[in-house]
Amino acid sequence: MKAQSWNNDWQFRDDASGESQQVTLPHDAKLMLARTTVSGHSAAQQAYYPGGQFTYQHEFMAPASWQDQHVVVKFEGVYKNASVYLNDQLIGSHRYGYTQFVVSSIAR
């Protein structure tokens, strides 16, 4: 198995505002948000930060040698409720925060 790092050149988007920027992983979406003076844990607020939904997107071109091969992608620490898409098709998800998980697919 060959490991390859994809930590660079991710597109990060705040889904509420539509603002986006290029980031390098690891990255914390909450660092860009203003803190509140009240702590809470709900769908609208998490700890001292407002809640939100964010999208991280990374595009790459798979080499021809990957055609019809079993490809595994390991995520080392994603916050909760992650969905992973390949060519606009859901290939995996993970509910838990800051834990490793893998998704696999046949490269087409």
Please report, in tens digits, the pLDDT of each residue of the chain (108 residues total).
Answer: 678 888 999 999 999 889 999 999 988 888 777 777 776 555 555 667 777 889 999 998 888 988 888 889 899 888 888 999 988 999 999 998 888 999 988 765
Query: How high is the pLDDT of residue 41?
Result: 58
Q: 0.75 cut: is pTM over it?
A: yes
Neighbours of 107 (CB within 10 A): 15
Q: Is 90 helix (H, G, I), strand (E, B) or coil?
A: strand
Query: How high is the pLDDT of residue 2?
Result: 78
